[in-house]
C-alpha cells in the first residue's frame, strides 16, 4: 500500500520531466494504468527497446503483473498468417520474403500489446506442399507458471505455414 | 533479428550452442532415412538432448529449442524468426543439417534470466 502512495507522485514527476518523449510515455501509462507498482521510481525500463541492462532500481516485484495474453496473441498469429497467405502460390523468392515480413509483422503487433516484462520469440516456417512428410517440435526450459507459447498452422493448395510465438518472462 | 547471429562475448555463445546441436542431430539422425513412424521420436530426442546439454553449461538462461525434420521431395521450405529481447544478453543459433533423404533445422533461443 505504501508503495502505491509513494509511486504516484513520482509518476507525475516523470511525465513533466521527459517532455520530448511525451507521446510514447502517455501511451505506456495508459497501458499500465492499472499497475503503478511496476514503474520503478525515476527509471523507465519499458520504453527502452535496446534493452540496456544498466542500473535499475528494485521494484520488489516477484512475478508478472498479468499473464501473457495467449488468446490475443493467437488471434494476431491467425490473422496475420491467413491474411498474408490466403491466395498465395509457392514461389521460392516470394515466400522467402514473405516469411521474413510475416515474422516481423507478427512481432510488431505483439509488441504493440505492450505486455510488461515479457520477451517474445516468433518463429515462422513456410513451405511448399509436395506430398512430403514433416515434423516440427520444440522443447523449452523455462518457468511454466509465467512463460508460455502459442502456435498456428495454415495450409492452402500449394503452401503450408506454421507460426509460433513464445512469451518468456524477464525479471 | 532475421537470422541467427549473436557474437557478444560473455553472454550467449552461439558457437558452443552450434556444436552441441550438431552433436545432438548426428547422434540421432546419423545414417537413417526419413521414416514417418520414427520422425516423431527423432525430433523429441533431438530437442531433449540439445536441451540437457545446454543446461549443463550452467548459464542463467531460459532455453527454447525447436527442431523441424522434413522429407526431401524437392519441395521448398523457408524459416524465419523475429525476437523482441535484450540483444546484449540474449541470443539464438540455427543449425541446418541434411542427408540423402531429409532436412533437419534446429533453432536454439537463449533468453537471459534477470
Q: In this predicted structure, what is the pLDDT of residue A66?
A: 80
**Does residue B90 sit within a domain?**
yes
Q: How far apart are CA B52 and CA B36, in angstroms?
A: 25
**Does residue B6 sit within a domain?**
no
Is B47–A122 a contact, with Cβ atoms under 8 angstroms apart?
no
Q: Tens-digit pLDDT profile for chain A (171 aa)? A: 544 444 444 444 444 444 444 444 444 444 344 444 444 444 444 444 444 556 777 878 777 888 888 898 999 999 999 998 888 888 888 888 989 999 999 999 998 888 888 899 999 999 888 888 888 898 898 888 889 999 999 988 889 999 999 999 887
As for the ipTM of the complex, it is: 0.71
Name the nearest CA neighbour of A146 among A167, A160, A126, A128. Answer: A167
C-alpha cell at A87: 491466395
Chain B residues with CB under 8 Å of A142 CB are 62-64, 111
Chain A residues with CB under 8 Å of B88 CB are 51-53
Q: What share of chain A is helix, strand, coil (3-state, %, to 5)?
A: 40, 20, 40
**Does residue B8 sit within a domain?**
no
Q: What CATH number has the domain bearing residue A133?
A: 3.30.1140.40
Is A133–B71 a contact, with Cβ atoms under 8 angstroms apart?
yes
> What is the domain extent for residue A96?
70-169
Domain count, chain B: 1
> What is the domain extent for residue B22?
14-112
Q: In this predicted structure, what is the pLDDT of residue B76?
A: 87
- DSSP annotation of B60: S
Is B77–A136 a contact, with Cβ atoms under 8 angstroms apart?
no
Q: Give, in order, the Cα–Cα distances in Å from A9 to each of A4, A42, A45, B26.
A: 9, 11, 18, 60
Chain A residues with CB under 8 Å of B90 CB are 119
Residues in Cβ contact with B22 at an 8 Å cutoff, skipping those fewer than 6 apart = B95, B97
- Hey, CA dihedral for B16, B82, B112, A144, is it positive or negative? negative
Compute the nearest-CA separation of A114 from chain B (Å). 11
**Does residue B82 sit within a domain?**
yes
C-alpha cell at A113: 500489446
Q: What CATH number has the domain bearing residue B73?
A: 3.30.1140.40
Amino acid at each position: 500500500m505504501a508503495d502505491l502512495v509513494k509511486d504516484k507522485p513520482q509518476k507525475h514527476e516523470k511525465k513533466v520531466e521527459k517532455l520530448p518523449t511525451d507521446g510514447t510515455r502517455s501511451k505506456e501509462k495508459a497501458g499500465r494504468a492499472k499497475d503503478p507498482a511496476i514503474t520503478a521510481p525515476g527509471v523507465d525500463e519499458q520504453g527502452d527497446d535496446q534493452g540496456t541492462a544498466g542500473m535499475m532500481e528494485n521494484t520488489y516485484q516477484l512475478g508478472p503483473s498479468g499473464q501473457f495474453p495467449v488468446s490475443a496473441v493467437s488471434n494476431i498469429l491467425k490473422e496475420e498468417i491467413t491474411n498474408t497467405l490466403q491466395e498465395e502460390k509457392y514461389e521460392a523468392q516470394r515466400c522467402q520474403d514473405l516469411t521474413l515480413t510475416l515474422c516481423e509483422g507478427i512481432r510488431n503487433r505483439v509488441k504493440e500489446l505492450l505486455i510488461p516484462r515479457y520477451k517474445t520469440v516468433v518463429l515462422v516456417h513456410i513451405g511448399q506442399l509436395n506430398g512430403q512428410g514433416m515434423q516440427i517440435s520444440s522443447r523449452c526450459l523455462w518457468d511454466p507458471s509465467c512463460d508460455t507459447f502459442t502456435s498456428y498452422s495454415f495450409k492452402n493448395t500449394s503452401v503450408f505455414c506454421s507460426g509460433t510465438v513464445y512469451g518468456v518472462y524477464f525479471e | 533479428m532475421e537470422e541467427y547471429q549473436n557474437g557478444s562475448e560473455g553472454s550467449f555463445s552461439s558457437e558452443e550452442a552450434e556444436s552441441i546441436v550438431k552433436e545432438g542431430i548426428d547422434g540421432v539422425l546419423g545414417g537413417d532415412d526419413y521414416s514417418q513412424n520414427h520422425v516423431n521420436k527423432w525430433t523429441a530426442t533431438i530437442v531433449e538432448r540439445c536441451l540437457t546439454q545446454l543446461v549443463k553449461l550452467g548459464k542463467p538462461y531460459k532455453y527454447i529449442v525447436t527442431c523441424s525434420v522434413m522429407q526431401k521431395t524437392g519441395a521448398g521450405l523457408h524459416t524465419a524468426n523475429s525476437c523482441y529481447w535484450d540483444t546484449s544478453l540474449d541470443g539464438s543459433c540455427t543449425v541446418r543439417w541434411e542427408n540423402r533423404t531429409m532436412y533437419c533445422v534446429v533453432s536454439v533461443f537463449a533468453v537471459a534470466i534477470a
